[in-house]
C-alpha cells in the first residue's frame, strides 16, 4: 500500500477535490486527502496525504503557509477575488509609499473576518451556502498571524505580495482589508501557494507527470515517507516490543528531560514511523502517550496457552 505525502503543483481551474480524485484514480489508492484547500483559480503547492499518511493530517494542518498573491486595487468584489461580482469601484489609487505603509500594519497578529463566500460555519451552516441564498451575515472575527509580508512589485492597479501566514488565514480577506485601509478597495486576482510548513512548491510534481505513470513504483521516489512527514517533531527511537505496546494504546515511560511536557514526537523503529506521541505527566513520572499509531506498529501477540503434552 502506498503511504506518504505527495506534493502536487495544482493548476488553475481545478478544485482541490478534483486533484485528489485524479491522483486516487491513477495510483489506485483508497485513502487520500489534501492538506488545505486551494480555490479553483489558485495554483501551487497542494500536499496530498496517501494511505497511512492521512492519519498525519491533524498535525500537518497546523503548519504555516507561504503565498504569492496579486491584488487589484480600485475594485472590491463580493467574494474578494476575481471570481466575484464587482460591488464597488474607486477612481483613486494610492502611491507606492502609502501602499507599503499600509501593508506593514498587517504584519503580526491581526483580527480577520472570514469572507462571506467561505466554508466557515455560522450557526451550524456554511457561510457560502448562506451567501448563495442572498443572506447577509458576518462571521465572527478570528485571530491569525501574518509572520511575514513583503511587497514584491507595484504596477498600479496591481500589487504583488509575498506572505507567510498561520493556518486559518484568508488571503482574500487580507486583500479586502488592505484595500479598505488604503481607501480604494481591492480584490485578489492571483494566488500561488509556495510552501506548507517545510514542504515547498519546487519539490512538487504536476498532474501531467502523474498521468504518465504506468506503475506505482515510479511514484515512490517522489513520495515523502511517513518518517519524514513531520520533520519539526523530535524523533524518538524505540525497539519492537515498545512499538507494539504503543499499538495497544499503552504509554511508554520517558525518563529523560530533553522534551517539554505536551511536546509531540515521532516514534521510530528501524527508521520507520510507528506512532506519534506526546509527553504527558503520570504518577510514576513522564510518559510518551500515543496519539496515532501506524500500520507497521502491530499489536503484541498473546502468549500461547500451555499445552498438556
Alpha carbon distance 194, 208 (integer Å):
19
Highest mean pLDDT among 26-40, 92-106, 114-128, 245-259: 92-106
Alpha carbon distance 203, 201 (integer Å):
5
pLDDT at 141 (0 to 100) = 83
The listed CATH number (3.30.1280.10, 3.90.1150.10, 3.30.2350.10, 3.20.20.60) that belongs to domain 65-196: 3.30.2350.10
Q: Beta-strand (E) ranges in the chain?
A: 4-10, 32-34, 43-50, 65-73, 75-77, 86-89, 108-112, 121-122, 125-126, 142-155, 158-165, 186-196, 199-200, 205-206, 235-237, 252-253, 264-269, 272-280, 287-293
Cell of 291: 496519539
The whole-number average pLDDT for the span 65-75 is: 98
Q: Residue 271 pairs with which residues in a beta bridge?
A: none
Alpha carbon distance 173, 115 (integer Å):
6
Residue with cell 465572527: 140
Q: Which fold has domain 4-62+199-225?
A: Pseudouridine synthase (3.30.2350)
Catalytic positions, please? 39
Residue ranges matching CATH 2.30.130.10 in the chain: 233-293
Q: What are phi and psi of 53, to 5 degrees?
A: -65, -15
Give the tens place of pLDDT for each residue, 74-94. 999 988 999 999 999 999 999
Residue 296, pLDDT above cutoff 90 = no
Cell of 83: 471570481
At 309, is the pLDDT very low, low, confident or very high (cuts 50, 70, 90)?
very low
Alpha helices in the chain (DSSP H): 16-27, 57-60, 96-104, 127-132, 171-182, 207-211, 240-247
Residue ranges matching CATH 3.30.2350.10 in the chain: 4-62+199-225, 65-196
The whole-number average pLDDT for the span 233-243 is: 92
Question: What is the chain's mean pLDDT, rounded?
Answer: 87
pLDDT at 257 (0 to 100) = 74
233-293: CATH class: mainly beta
Give the tens place of pLDDT for each residue, 15-26. 999 999 999 999
Alpha carbon distance 133, 16 (integer Å):
24
At 135, is the pLDDT very low, low, confident or very high (cuts 50, 70, 90)?
low
Residue 134, pLDDT above cutoff 80 = no
**Do 232 and 198 contact (CB within 8 A), yes or no?**
yes
Residue with cell 505513470: 213
SS3 250: coil
**Do 141 and 115 contact (CB within 8 A), yes or no?**
no
Amino acid at each position: 500500500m502506498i503511504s506518504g505525502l505527495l506534493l502536487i503543483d495544482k493548476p488553475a481551474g481545478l478544485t482541490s477535490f478534483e486533484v485528489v480524485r485524479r491522483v486516487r484514480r491513477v495510483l489506485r489508492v483508497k485513502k487520500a486527502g489534501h492538506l488545505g484547500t486551494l480555490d479553483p483559480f489558485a495554483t501551487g503547492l497542494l500536499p496530498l496525504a496517501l494511505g497511512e499518511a492521512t492519519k498525519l493530517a491533524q498535525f500537518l494542518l497546523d503548519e504555516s503557509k507561504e503565498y504569492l498573491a496579486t491584488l487589484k486595487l480600485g475594485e472590491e468584489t463580493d467574494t474578494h477575488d476575481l471570481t466575484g461580482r464587482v460591488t464597488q469601484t474607486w477612481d483613486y489609487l494610492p502611491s507606492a509609499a502609502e501602499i507599503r505603509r499600509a501593508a506593514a500594519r498587517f504584519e503580526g497578529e491581526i483580527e480577520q473576518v472570514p469572507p462571506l463566500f467561505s466554508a466557515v460555519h455560522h450557526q451550524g451552516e456554511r457561510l457560502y451556502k448562506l451567501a448563495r441564498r442572498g443572506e447577509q451575515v458576518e462571521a465572527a472575527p478570528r485571530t491569525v498571524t501574518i509572520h511575514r509580508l513583503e511587497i514584491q512589485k507595484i504596477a498600479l492597479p496591481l500589487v504583488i505580495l509575498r506572505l507567510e501566514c498561520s493556518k486559518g488565514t484568508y488571503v482574500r480577506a487580507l486583500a479586502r482589508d488592505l484595500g479598505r485601509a488604503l481607501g480604494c478597495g481591492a480584490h485578489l486576482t492571483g494566488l500561488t501557494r509556495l510552501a506548507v510548513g517545510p514542504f515547498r512548491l519546487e519539490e512538487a510534481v504536476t498532474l501531467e507527470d502523474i498521468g504518465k505513470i504506468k506503475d506505482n513504483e515510479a511514484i515512490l521516489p517522489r513520495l515523502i515517507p511517513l518518517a519524514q512527514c513531520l520533520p519539526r517533531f523530535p524523533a524518538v527511537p524505540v525497539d519492537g516490543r515498545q512499538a507494539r505496546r504503543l499499538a495497544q494504546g499503552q504509554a511508554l515511560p520517558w525518563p529523560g528531560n530533553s522534551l517539554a511536557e505536551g511536546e509531540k514526537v515521532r516514534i521510530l523503529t528501524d527508521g520507520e514511523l510507528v506512532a506519534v506521541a506526546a509527553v504527558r505527566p503520570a504518577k510514576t513520572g513522564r510518559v510518551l502517550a500515543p496519539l496515532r499509531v501506524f500500520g507497521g506498529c502491530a499489536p503484541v501477540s498473546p502468549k500461547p496457552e500451555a499445552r498438556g503434552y
